Amino acid sequence: MKVNKTLWRWSRLLHIYAAIALLLLLLFFAFTGITLNHPSWFVGEAQEQEIEFQLDAYKAEQGAQFSPNQIGQIEQALGLNFSQLKIEDDGEVLFFDAQMPGGFASGELELESGLVTASRSDFGVWAWMNDLHKGRHTGLAWKLLLDVSSVLILLFSISGLILLLPNRRYLKPAVYLGFLTAAVCTVALVAS
């Protein structure tokens, strides 16, 4: 099949630079794909941390309305961004929890005394990497990185196909391999 030379040249450049940009990201996703499929191979000890502190200048009538200084105190003590916390008020105690890559934090604030009792669990680097792989409990920056990398993977794949089209010797085996891959994936999906 004949392909326009300008299209072929641009596809080649796009294919090369997309490959360079994706190299580390694809290695990360390939490795974490193995850790997700075989979690028993990568078991780590959960690190539990108990935290207790008095919230500065807290008054019971504040409820879940915190001053910037109190927010900073909570963030520093728990080691997370305040916006990650989900807070529930039962009238006497504020309960809070937060999910984050590779762990979580939870606790309570006694409204009368301003005493915060919390715990933070960290399940280790493997859990952190697996959560990043899934995009679970991550922020906007990681979600944008995943979106940009998805677009780069699409461009990489399409440009590779365009580069393959004029090369008849490799085109036919590539098409067969594509159909074989689709068939194996379909059988694996149906069998599971």
The model's pTM? 0.68
pLDDT digits (tens, 9 = 90+) for 16-49: 988 988 898 889 999 999 988 888 887 777 889 9
Confirm if 86 and 103 have CB atoms less than 8 A apart.
no
Q: What are the phi and psi torsion angles at 23 (to 5°)?
A: -55, -60
Q: How confident is the model at residue 154 (pLDDT cuts 50, 70, 90)?
A: very high
Domain borders along the chain are 5-42+127-191, 47-123
Average pLDDT over residues 109-126: 87
Q: Is the pLDDT of residue 152 over 80?
A: yes
Local structure of 175: helix, strand or coil? helix
**SS3 readout for 111-142:** CCCCEEEEEEEECCHHHHHHHHHHCCCCCHHH
At residue 1, the pLDDT reads 64
